[in-house]
Amino acid sequence: MRRDYFLVIGLALLFFFPFLGGMHLFDWDEAYVAECAREMLLTGEWIRPQIDFQPFFEKPPLFFWVQTLSMKIFGVNEFAARFPNAVCGLVTLLLVYRIGLRLHDRMFAWLWVLAWLGSFLPHFYFRTGIIDPWFNLLIFCGLYGFIEFRWQFLTQQKHASYWQKYRYLIVGGGLLGLAIMTKGLTAYLIVMAVLVLYWARYRFRGRGYFKHLALFSAAAWLVGLIWFALEIVLYGGDFAEKFVLNQLHIFPSIGEAGSFPGYHALVLLLGCFPISVFALPNLWGDRQPEDELLESDTLAACQRSDLVTWLQLLFWTAFVLFVFAPTNAMHYSSLAYFPLTYLGAVTIWRAVRWDVRPKITTWLLPVIGILIGLAVFAIPYLGQHTELLTPFFADNPFMLEALKADLGWTLWHGLPGLILVGATLGGLYFWQKNRPWIAAQILFGGGAIFTKLTMLFVVCNLEGHSQRAAIEFYKSKCGEDCEIKPVGFRSGAHLFYAAKKPGESKGKIYFVAKIGDVEKCRDLLHCRELYRKNGFVFFEQAASEPAR
């Protein structure tokens, strides 16, 4: 088994770490996080996160601490900003292998690892610089600690020591506390919702359940409140009060969501392909075959069935909560990756062991895989013939100009799409031939290669259309005593790439606006236009001339 762990580490090193710094940080989600870490490194202010050297009330500091440490080692750059999440990917693969091996067998452990490695968004997020991968991992570990504690509590001997009895509960609560310190109160609300729903499912029965819930919460808050306590002791309660108020306004009321209700369903179905197709039959109900109960250890079979229930509740809790999130950001539903990958791996494992193959996978697998593959294959052609896209953006001046960027698209950039089509057809062939293990290796292997090459060939070029012109301008001002002000859009990239220093600037003031916003802003009417590029317009104003 030790050889398997080394192989898992090798796969993570191969797919998650190379070329992390090959693309600019995406604005806003990656750039603002990296900027918080950069300012923390520059000022030495480790307790209170800042953006533009002003208090930042939206997030606690734990991930910023990790990213700051990465920047101390690798320098202030894209690689350092994304390195912590690559490490998170490595830890996640090792964790799911260990849990899968304990509850199922070696084959299931590998299926769960491959599901993470070969599904699009779960793989992609370990190559980003956003907070969510560590946030999700800590939530899952905290919840799993409670689950493991309940299993042992109901089966352990009476003479076990206190630590032997409660170690999973205490450690799980502590990890949930770290999740609170990573992204805020949302972590506690999600886990508590799952725990209460599970309790309600069994009509609020269960020996010691309420007591364990209270102890688990106490452990979580004992860790989670460390930062709040330090903040209050050092600076008073003003910052902590504003942070809590901001956290309470995360979720809008129903009907005010930033996307249509099916948005995150599509994100999970298409973005988590191919494992999402295999997870569909297990999103509700218990489809544990009778042969599984007869052929395996009874306790292990019961624990597997129980974990399916827990992760179904986690999936639906995360999905329902984030359906009403106030943005269209895909990472809002990323907590669902843990239950999706597990439930999908269960479907394939049961197909291998007991020849149980849901019919929905046979027709949905080729439909989604071929459509996505052909869509990616078509992107380079559309990049060469942008006139085909202009009718869709007739009311968006910025996109019309951004499409004019000359990025040297070639048909070779569409190679990942052909790889996905080939992997889908190959996996489908062996799935229909009742060889699901080979089908899984082909599908997930192809998915991992597809994701890696798509980021290198396609996403890098798409970044050239969306933001590269602005990033290049910011980088050109690095080291200059100046101030850059984005107009009409939220940004952290201008601070990060221009390496803004604390204190008031005495030099020039630059404004950056999207072409459709120029006429709307009176401040720009009294500035000198420098140039226009790919939908962005750049202005200059002398520091002595006040904006009007």
Q: What is the predicted pLDDT for the residue at 75?
A: 94
Tokens of 81: 């900003």
Judged on CB neighbours under 10 Å (0-12, 13-18, 19+), 94 is: middle
pLDDT for 188: 94
User: How far is CA 224 from each of CA 176, 318, 373, rounded to the nearest angstrom?
Assistant: 8, 21, 43
The answer to whether the CB of 82 falls within 8 A of the CB of 128 is yes
Q: Which helix (H) or strand (E) holds 292?
A: helix 290-295
Q: CB burial class (10 A; 0-12, 13-18, 19+) of residue 84? A: buried
**Burial tier of 521 (Cβ tally within 10 Å: 0-12, 13-18, 19+):** middle
End-to-end CA distance of the chain: 69
Measured CA distances, 372 to 124, 278, 429 (Å) = 16, 17, 18
Q: For helices 436-454 and 106-118, what crossing angle results, to 10°? A: 30
Closest CA to 317 of 216, 187, 146, 171: 187
Eight-class DSSP state of 57:
-
Which tokens belong to 89?
Answer: 């990917």
* 29: its two tokens: 């989600």
User: Smallest Cα–Cα separation from 35: which of 510, 499, 512?
Assistant: 499
Indicate the helix (H) or strand (E) that contains 25: none
Per domain, the residue ranges of the chain are 253-356, 360-464, 471-541
pLDDT confidence of residue 20: 92
Q: What does the pLDDT profile of the chain (548 residues) look like in tens digits?
A: 789 999 999 999 999 999 999 899 998 889 999 999 999 999 998 988 999 988 888 889 999 999 999 999 999 999 999 999 999 999 999 999 999 999 999 999 999 999 999 999 999 999 999 999 999 999 999 999 999 999 988 777 667 777 788 899 999 999 999 999 999 888 999 999 999 999 998 877 777 888 999 999 999 999 988 888 888 888 777 777 777 777 766 654 444 445 566 788 899 999 999 999 999 999 988 777 766 666 667 788 888 989 999 999 999 999 888 766 656 677 788 999 999 999 999 999 999 988 888 889 999 999 999 999 999 999 999 999 988 988 988 888 899 999 988 888 898 999 999 999 999 999 999 999 999 999 999 999 999 999 999 999 999 999 988 899 999 999 999 988 889 999 888 889 999 999 999 888 778 889 999 988 877 776 666 788 889 999 999 999 855 555 44
d(CA 110, CA 103): 13
Looking at this protein, which amino acid is placed at residue 225?
L
Tokens read off for 77: 């750059």
CA distance 429 to 526: 65
Query: In terms of pTM, does the model score above 0.95?
Result: no
| Gap between the Cα atoms of 41 and 314, Å rounded | 36
Q: Are 443 and 118 in contact, with CB atoms under 8 Å apart?
A: yes
Looking at residue 159, its pLDDT comes to 73
Q: What's the pLDDT at 528?
A: 86
The residue count for the chain: 548
Question: Cα separation of 324 and 97, whole Å?
Answer: 33
CB 86 within 8 A of CB 126: yes
User: What is the distance of C-alpha 373 from the center of its chain?
Assistant: 22
Q: What pLDDT score does 259 carry?
A: 57
DSSP state letter for 280: G
With a CB cutoff of 8 Å and minimum separation 6, the contacts of 232 are 240
Q: What pLDDT is stored for residue 338 in this prediction? A: 97
